[in-house]
A and B are shown apart, each in its own frame.
Chain A
């Protein structure tokens, strides 16, 4: 990676003015890095070809710290949106990219983020086709915010819809939960655990595509349980569709170190954010095959069926605990507040 390519150390307001400095930053960094025919038009926008139904998803990324164990905000910004498009049962193809940079961000940091974005986009098989960069005064942002919008072609066999979920469908989680949130938190709060916890941020689009190729419409729903964790995602599904979800606590895949960290902090891993995990709700007859297929993929090594759709407790997620009792899993409401008297 080529360092010190700029005449300046830090991003300043001038870089967002739209003038010469902006052009210099874009030319030196953005266009050089992404270097593709769409961007090279240097036009107000891009014209692309997508056949059939299009899935579009947008997301803004704010995270502190911007560099963390297992990735940085740039990687998150690509994977997050790519995954959201994939969750629609689509194959992500194009990405828009917008930065809001706080005055004073180190130029090196910015360029590293941009390069990570390029590398991640390549890995995901998506092309950055349009973008924007704004600079805000010091104190008006938090180093850097990124917005991405993803465009993808819906898989011809896909029929992703929560409405198609029926009693008996199985709920599958693709991997260990709570990794990303715990990595961010431990780094932000300066918490030292036995070993460092790494973010699980990764792109899930190829695994999703493989699953759709093999199982098509037998797959009812994909969701990525990012903010609010698995608990909030499952709760949303239950409430929106008015079906009951029953999961088993001891099936929830959780890495030992993450579990220990959650325990110490009094956090429920069910509410901790994930960035490289998805939930699939599938017809019960294919459930074991889906799990088997996921396990073949590096992104689904820890895939497991955690529960099913039931006729009971409509609109609620209930977790069967390892020692016999059941409890309601509520969505995350605001911040975590103690309830025990």
Chain B
């Protein structure tokens, strides 16, 4: 019999698993990877084969993901035994790449067991855990295709590798203290402090307690760490990193400690301990204040927390009983660092000590970030990176075009479809930064070389000066392939249609795409869009009333400018408080002569944040919107009112919303209530528009839908009358543009 499996079945111990099952069921044959996926030839009685087949599906390794499987009859081979056939580097292999996996429980046990050979070995991994994508040089995942190739297994490791009964049978990242990766602690002048795995983490604990900043090279990139309880060191890190306000994430030593400090709901616990080990944003309940320094997340009532994802971080955690700040090791705006010499050069002005090792990182990744809404536990990806990238799960596509999508600009990601699978790179960052751009270019060529497939179509955003658009055009030209420009919000909507397989449904879908900016078909700045998708056609049917876009990129950085644009009367006191008299004269003039218009809901949020004196000038991207949401606290939707309602011609009066906020503010309504009213208004606009067009299925995407209160309100209002769709495997923000571009193109829209 021939069994074929596809999905994430590579680098996850699938072949060893099948091997052991074969032994258990006394099946003879082979297991290998080929163009079709994971392929098993099995010989035994029909009954045995049936239970063998079922066992493969039912008992598959925890970190694997089977997309499809089938069994068919073939001619008998007369096998003598059951063998694993190693795979060659072959780009045609129809397998998925493998993301990085958080340390498993078995490995966690080993590193604290003094009798185990991996006691305190910081790079302990097995087939169920350890880095994968981070160290991938080529395809498929075999040791000699990764940066583990540098390390030759010692006899003992080799024995484990070859023993089918061992957890490290065919574990490509297998290594130990004698043959493996070398850790060392140095100070910022490169002076060696320790290379001794048994004492190195004790020294680190001491340094944390002394208030030192330590740069830690994890298996996916550098982190900057310090004692999260120590206000002065957190402040020092802020100053040195040139990051005045943006919240830091915390690494908690244990789940127990975390639960000690905060109420952790079941969904959050599940997510935080998952194999992807993301940062999860949790409510920072006021009663629990005092466990961490104030400047960890200034002005916010939420906190990003995570648990150790590697043996290295686990060993560090084992020595401490307090949370530490663990933020990406970079200089503000630059990409996360991963090369030792570069990290030392760039981070030595920030970090006092460096915990380094000699495993090369091919694909540096930030930590992924997830948040749950508080009422309906809706799961929202804020950043998709380590643990999730680069695989994207959706049904196999039949289109044979090898599509490369260049994504957006500020939250960039790349999409590639070299075989039957879709790959979406990790979040790459803001392409304004040259380091990010370099990484972006490297990931493009990385995808091309890993699969040895050149794209035959390149997709870019319509925005002429997105760095990704410019590069995409250069790429298409140099490869001599076709290039298509896809409108930003259409791409957003397509990502959602794809996430929920809605392209082929027979009913109409309302696409609600709200974000900060995107270049529109009419050369204006879109951001408050309504589309109708029906039978392969996507049509813009409505949008927020246009208002003036003032002063270029400055408007997105200064929420007060959105207020200036949206406020009816620029003579109101709140304006004269936020602007100098000269500025007022100039901006009035700009507003009078301005021709660039926008429907941006992101800017509407900004205007409300400014009007409520929550944020006039962002010190980090999205600050106004985040702080707006954080001002709410508990709310009661039954006490909320709408500032506007959708009129009979479905027109959405943007300025009237600001007017409503203003009048409530004058009446002395509490800010938190005003914000709730504002969000309630927006949620009602969604349903009002849906109602007007008589569409029951509503798909919401774009950065605005990172607001979890808005999601909860929508969910509650929609009840069972409407069906709501949100992004699930991707972020609603611009990280989903690359997938959307691919799907827009592959489904033949336009």
A326: chain B residues at CB < 8 Å are: 433-435
**B557 close to chain A: CB less than 8 A:** yes
Digitize B494-522: 1 where CB-to-A-CB distance is under 8 Å, 0 elsewhere: 00000000000000000000011111000
A322-341 CB contacts (< 8 Å) to partner B: 323-328, 330, 333-334, 336-341
**B593 close to chain A: CB less than 8 A:** yes
Q: Are the CB atoms of B242 and A341 closer together than 8 Å?
A: no
**A264 close to chain B: CB less than 8 A:** yes
Contact of A338 among B334, B433, B549, B590 (CB under 8 A): B549
Q: Are the CB atoms of B586 and A323 closer together than 8 Å?
A: no
Q: Are the CB atoms of A265 and B551 closer together than 8 Å?
A: yes
Q: Are the CB atoms of B434 and A190 closer together than 8 Å?
A: no
C-alpha gap A334/B553 in the complex (Å): 15
- Asked if A339 meets B434 with Cβ closer than 8 Å, knowing A189-B589, A266-B552, A330-B465, the reply is no
**A2 close to chain B: CB less than 8 A:** no
- Asked if A324 meets B556 with Cβ closer than 8 Å, knowing A194-B582, A337-B464, A338-B549, the reply is no
**A294 close to chain B: CB less than 8 A:** no
Binds A, one of B110-118, B275-283, B404-412: B404-412
C-alpha gap A324/B241 in the complex (Å): 10
**B332 close to chain A: CB less than 8 A:** yes
**B150 close to chain A: CB less than 8 A:** no
Question: Nearest chain B CB to A75's CB is how many angstroms away?
Answer: 26
A167: chain B residues at CB < 8 Å are: none
- Asked if A324 meets B517 with Cβ closer than 8 Å, knowing A330-B467, A339-B463, the reply is no
Count: A-B pairs, CB below 8 Å: 111
**A191 close to chain B: CB less than 8 A:** yes
B549: chain A residues at CB < 8 Å are: 338
C-alpha gap A339/B550 in the complex (Å): 13
- Asked if A340 meets B516 with Cβ closer than 8 Å, knowing A191-B586, A266-B554, A324-B332, the reply is yes
C-alpha gap A38/B89 in the complex (Å): 78
Contact of B552 among A189, A323, A327, A336 (CB under 8 A): A336
Closest to B433 in A: A325
Contact of A340 among B437, B553, B590, B733 (CB under 8 A): B553
Q: Are the CB atoms of A341 and B589 closer together than 8 Å?
A: no
A334: chain B residues at CB < 8 Å are: 464-465
C-alpha gap A283/B602 in the complex (Å): 49
Q: Are the CB atoms of B557 and A340 closer together than 8 Å?
A: yes
**A39 close to chain B: CB less than 8 A:** no
B404-450 CB contacts (< 8 Å) to partner A: 408-411, 431-435, 437
Closest to A192 in B: B585
Greatest chain B CB density within 10 A among A194, A318, A330 is at: A330
Q: Interface size bucket, B side? A: 35 or more
Closest to A239 in B: B474
B733: chain A residues at CB < 8 Å are: 341
C-alpha gap A334/B596 in the complex (Å): 13
C-alpha gap A193/B435 in the complex (Å): 36
B551: chain A residues at CB < 8 Å are: 264-267
Question: Nearest chain B CB to A267's CB is how many angstroms away?
Answer: 7
- Asked if A189 meets B556 with Cβ closer than 8 Å, knowing A325-B333, A326-B434, A330-B467, the reply is no
**A163 close to chain B: CB less than 8 A:** no
Greatest chain B CB density within 10 A among A328, A337, A341 is at: A341
**B703 close to chain A: CB less than 8 A:** yes
Digitize A19-63: 1 where CB-to-B-CB distance is under 8 Å, 0 elsewhere: 000000000000000000000000000000000000000000000
Greatest chain B CB density within 10 A among A191, A268, A336, A337 is at: A337
Contact of B586 among A265, A325, A328, A340 (CB under 8 A): A265
**A313 close to chain B: CB less than 8 A:** yes
Contact of A328 among B334, B467, B519 (CB under 8 A): B467
**B60 close to chain A: CB less than 8 A:** no
B434: chain A residues at CB < 8 Å are: 313, 318, 325-328
C-alpha gap A24/B207 in the complex (Å): 91
Q: Are the CB atoms of B555 and A327 closer together than 8 Å?
A: no
**B222 close to chain A: CB less than 8 A:** no
Question: Nearest chain A CB to B582's CB is how many angstroms away?
Answer: 7
Q: Are the CB atoms of B332 and A338 closer together than 8 Å?
A: no
B467: chain A residues at CB < 8 Å are: 328, 330
C-alpha gap A75/B409 in the complex (Å): 41
B673-723 CB contacts (< 8 Å) to partner A: 703
Question: Nearest chain A CB to B474's CB is how many angstroms away?
Answer: 8
B557: chain A residues at CB < 8 Å are: 340
Q: Are the CB atoms of B734 and A341 closer together than 8 Å?
A: yes
B202-222 CB contacts (< 8 Å) to partner A: none
A268: chain B residues at CB < 8 Å are: 552
- Asked if A341 meets B583 with Cβ closer than 8 Å, knowing A189-B590, A266-B551, A324-B331, the reply is no
A327: chain B residues at CB < 8 Å are: 432-434
Question: Nearest chain A CB to B485's CB is how many angstroms away?
Answer: 13
Question: Nearest chain A CB to B441's CB is how many angstroms away?
Answer: 10
**B380 close to chain A: CB less than 8 A:** no
Question: Nearest chain B CB to A183's CB is how many angstroms away?
Answer: 15
Q: Are the CB atoms of B517 and A266 closer together than 8 Å?
A: no
Digitize B599-633: 1 where CB-to-A-CB distance is under 8 Å, 0 elsewhere: 00010000000000000000001000000000000
Q: Are the CB atoms of B411 and A341 closer together than 8 Å?
A: yes
**B466 close to chain A: CB less than 8 A:** yes
A93-137 CB contacts (< 8 Å) to partner B: none
C-alpha gap A190/B555 in the complex (Å): 20
**B193 close to chain A: CB less than 8 A:** no
Question: Nearest chain B CB to A263's CB is how many angstroms away?
Answer: 8
Closest to A321 in B: B333
**B381 close to chain A: CB less than 8 A:** no
**B470 close to chain A: CB less than 8 A:** yes
- Asked if A325 meets B470 with Cβ closer than 8 Å, knowing A266-B555, A339-B465, A341-B517, the reply is no
C-alpha gap A194/B583 in the complex (Å): 11
- Asked if A191 meets B589 with Cβ closer than 8 Å, knowing A323-B242, A328-B434, A340-B556, the reply is yes
Question: Nearest chain A CB to B10's CB is how many angstroms away?
Answer: 35
B342-380 CB contacts (< 8 Å) to partner A: none
**B305 close to chain A: CB less than 8 A:** no
B566: chain A residues at CB < 8 Å are: none
B534-567 CB contacts (< 8 Å) to partner A: 549-557
Question: Nearest chain B CB to A312's CB is how many angstroms away?
Answer: 9
Closest to B464 in A: A333
Question: Nearest chain A CB to B522's CB is how many angstroms away?
Answer: 13
- Asked if A333 meets B465 with Cβ closer than 8 Å, knowing A325-B332, A341-B516, the reply is yes
B582: chain A residues at CB < 8 Å are: 192-194, 264
B433: chain A residues at CB < 8 Å are: 325-327
C-alpha gap A338/B464 in the complex (Å): 11
Closest to B594 in A: A189
Question: Nearest chain A CB to B520's CB is how many angstroms away?
Answer: 10
Greatest chain A CB density within 10 A among B465, B470, B555 is at: B465
C-alpha gap A248/B574 in the complex (Å): 39
Known: A323-B242, A325-B433, A326-B433. 5 other contacts (CB 8 A): A189-B589, A264-B582, A324-B331, A337-B464, A341-B516
17 CB-based A-B contacts, threshold 8 Å: A264-B583, A265-B586, A266-B550, A324-B242, A324-B331, A328-B434, A328-B467, A337-B464, A337-B465, A337-B525, A338-B517, A340-B410, A340-B516, A340-B557, A341-B556, A341-B602, A341-B703
The residues of A with any CB-CB pair to B shorter than 8 Å are 189-194, 264-268, 313, 318, 323-328, 330, 333-334, 336-341
Among all A-B residue pairs, the 3 with the closest Cβ atoms: A266-B554, A266-B551, A326-B434
The residues of B with any CB-CB pair to A shorter than 8 Å are 242, 331-334, 408-411, 431-435, 437, 463-467, 470, 515-519, 525, 549-557, 582-583, 585-586, 589-590, 593, 596, 602, 621, 703, 733-734
